[in-house]
Structure 1
Amino acid sequence: MKTKITGTGSYIPANIEKNENFHNHEFLNSDGSTINAPSEVIVRKFKAITGIDERRYAKSHLNTSDIASFAAEKAIENAKIDREDLDYIIVAHNYGDVRHDSQQSDTVPSLASRVKHLLRIKNPKCVGYDLLFGCPGWLEGVIQANAFISSGIAKKCLVIGAETLSRVIDPFDRDSMIYSDGAGAVIIEATDGESGIIAHETATYALDEAHFIYFGETNNPEIKDNRRYIKMYGRKIYEFALTNVPVAMKSCLDKSGFNISDVKKVLIHQANEKMDEAIVKRFYELHDMKMPDGIMPMSIGKLGNSSVATIPTLYNMILNGEIEHQDINKGDVIIFASVGAGMNINAIVYKQ
């Protein structure tokens, strides 16, 4: 018996924040010193590295749990299941509900309980819990749902990745332009067919790498408050990801029994266009192959990096024909892969 994704859904916020909207920002180095370049130049270099033209921000009255429930509703409808039959609701996020213009994260009750409430599910045996695992959180939720179903504990699971990163970014940090808001969800069920999750791989590197992504103070030394923002050591993350993610992907593919030539798509966490491309190229180099054209669909250019939401959102968009020149067909072998705070890495080989 395998586990299969039977429904998908996503919520992409309507508010578009374009690169030119950052031209009037004052960007500072991490030590508070002035960056010796106009904001327009900083933004142009940012675009060349990350591939991001614009990103999406949630409207001020919506929280992470709200947009998570919107994506969940679509996934339930797409799967054509009774929501009362769900055994687990797993919500991957990193910062909880951060209300607009608030300095405090709210995680009590859990976002999973809030989503269950918003979905109006009555069944007390439908268990909801949150998963904090950095950007690979949604993928790890899928791995956990697979374990529940494979062991016979569950039959149907809802796995959501949702984030409103626009509320935890430092406006004086140029890295703030990377982040965005969004939500993606899937329904996972048992299947007797050949489709489904074939193999998975997860690793945590914490000896030297635990704090590559962290919560820190604003880059502006004149601001004296207790608020903290998402921060990262970009170069260290790039080197770490390029070294370790392709190896994890190869290990996962080796366990699956499929050949590299069987892989039709690689859906990688939309972190940084140049980094993602380098990771997938290195993965193919490990197989003495050139990266095939069109193997790596991308959404980061228009949607930015919404952390746990990037992969389920991208997957849903491809299935709905919303990514130009990209499709996934029945029987296709796909690799999902992610890297993020922790530092965590995971991958799944999936047969559509």
Structure 2
Amino acid sequence: MIRSVLIGTGSALPARRVSNAELAAQVDTTDEWIVERTGIRFRHIAGEGETTATLARDAALAALSAAGVTAQDIDLIVLATATPDNTFPATATKVQAMLGIDDCVAFDVAAVCSGFLYAVQVADSMLRSGVQRRALVIGAETFSRILDWEDRTTCVLFGDGAGAIVLEARDTPDDATDARARGILATRLHADGRHNELLYVDGGPSTTGTVGKLRMKGREVFRHAVVNLAAVMEEALAAAGLPTDAVDWVVPHQANARILDATARKLSLPAEKVVMTVDRHANTSAASVPLALDQAVRDGRVVAGQIVVLEAMGGGFTWGAAVLRI
């Protein structure tokens, strides 16, 4: 059967790295408070000339290089972001132009922190249809530009960055448990709009005519995240016909170290199987999962043949998981 096989990963971070101590000089917080409650020690903040599109371009170029293909080999770009360069056109089309691709399908997906998982399923469906052959799937954000820097409960949590993968349609064995069956084995997505008020931005073109600022009720988000992430991971593994102990790595959305720990415990997963980069990058929303995946690949932890689960939850609420064999 045709599956979408991951053939390359890449990531990009803004030049400026901001420590907790630097933030503590600006807002009423401390390094100890941030680390204890979130596990975050650093985050990268976009500077002049750095935008969601430029970060996405740099991550895409790194992924193309790792895949050993050129930009001209790409016929689909799906870019997940909640912080586009413009209301329109889609940031994906700006990345397309930056890469020098004259014509390909290019569009954005908006599902906040789950955006990359949504983008993966969309790209996977399109590749398996046989119409496109290679896709760039990107998660990129400049969340620093929608933060209220006077709200110490939210401004310390987020950072900017981008991650990208290259997927290629290939014929693989039907049985997902066959070690030769590489690629995306199963995906599951969910949304529940009844919880909009727990994590949202208080602006938009149709309501206030402004970009707005991020607002969050952290305790409620934490509670939903642990339950939803554990459930959707189990659901995706069941769809792939794989037990939890078949998983080599979980690459979760990097929102909060305590959420990652609690989710692992709920699934009886050893902590050493969970990729964690939240300490270095903070919460980069849709960029979080591909950024963490690329770091794990480049560190030599995630290698060919392994079973990897990607999972995330974000505002909406939206949440999802994908199971793939690298």
TM-score (norm 2): 0.91
Q: Partner of 1:107 in structure 2?
A: 87
Matches for 1:93-172 after TM superposition, within 5 Å: 93-97=81-85, 106-122=86-102, 124=103, 126-172=104-150
The one-character-per-residue Cα deviations of 1:188-238 (angstroms, maximum 9, x if unpaired) are 0112241111111100011x3122211138xxxxxxxx6621111111111
In structure 1, the residue matched to 2:207 is none
Matched, 1:184 2:185: no
Superposition deviation, residue 305 in structure 1: 0.9
Corresponding residue for residue 189 of structure 2: 202
In the alignment, the residues of structure 2 paired with residue 301 and residue 172 of structure 1 have an alpha-carbon distance, to the nearest angstrom, of 22
Alignment deviations for residues 59-114 of structure 1 (CA, whole Å, 9 cap, x no partner): 211111011111111111221223223221111100212xxxxxxxx232210110
Q: Which whole-Å deviations, capped at 9, do the CAs of 1:145-202 have from their partners, x for residues lacking one?
A: 1101111121111111000111111111111111100011111011224111111110
Shift of 1:26: 4.0
**When the two structures are aligned, how many residues end up with a matched partner?**
311
Q: Percent identity?
A: 29
- Cα 1:331/1:341, change in 2 over 3 Å: same
User: What value does the CA root-mean-square deviation take over the aligned residues?
Assistant: 1.7
Structure 1 equivalent of residue 68 of structure 2: 80
Equivalent position of 1:313 in the other structure: 291
Corresponding residue for 1:229?
Answer: 213
Partner of 2:253: 269
1:296-338 superposed Cα distances (whole Å, 9 cap, x missing partner): 11111011111111111111111111xxxx7122211111100
Q: How does 1:31-70 map to 2 (within 5 A)?
A: 39-40=29-30, 43-70=31-58
Which runs of structure 2 are paired with 1:193-342 in the superposition (5 Å)? 193=172, 194-206=181-193, 208-216=194-202, 228-284=212-268, 291-321=269-299, 327-342=301-316
Bigger Cα Rg = 1
Contact conserved, 2:14 with 2:50, CA < 8 A, in 1? no
AA at the equivalent of 1:19? N
Q: Which has the higher helix share?
A: 2
- Within 2, Cα distance between the matches of 1:158 and 1:327? 22
C-alpha separation between the residues in 1 aligned to 2:217 and 2:44?
23
**TM-score, structure 1 as length reference:** 0.85
Instruction: Name structure 2 gaps, 5 residues minimum.
Output: 173-180, 204-209
Question: What SS does the corresponding residue of 1:211 show, helix, strand or coil?
Answer: helix
CA distance in 1, matches of 2:238, 2:226: 19
**Contact 2:264-2:271 at 8 Å conserved across structures:** no
What secondary structure is seen at the aligned counterpart in 1 of 2:266? helix
Deviation at 1:279, TM superposition (A): 1.4
Residue in 1 aligned with 2:176? none
The 10-residue stretch of structure 1 (75-84 or 244-253) with the greater mean CA deviation from structure 2 = 75-84
Secondary structure of the equivalent of 1:135? helix
- Which of structure 1's runs of 4+ aligned residues deviate more than 3 A? none
Give the AA of the match of 2:88: V
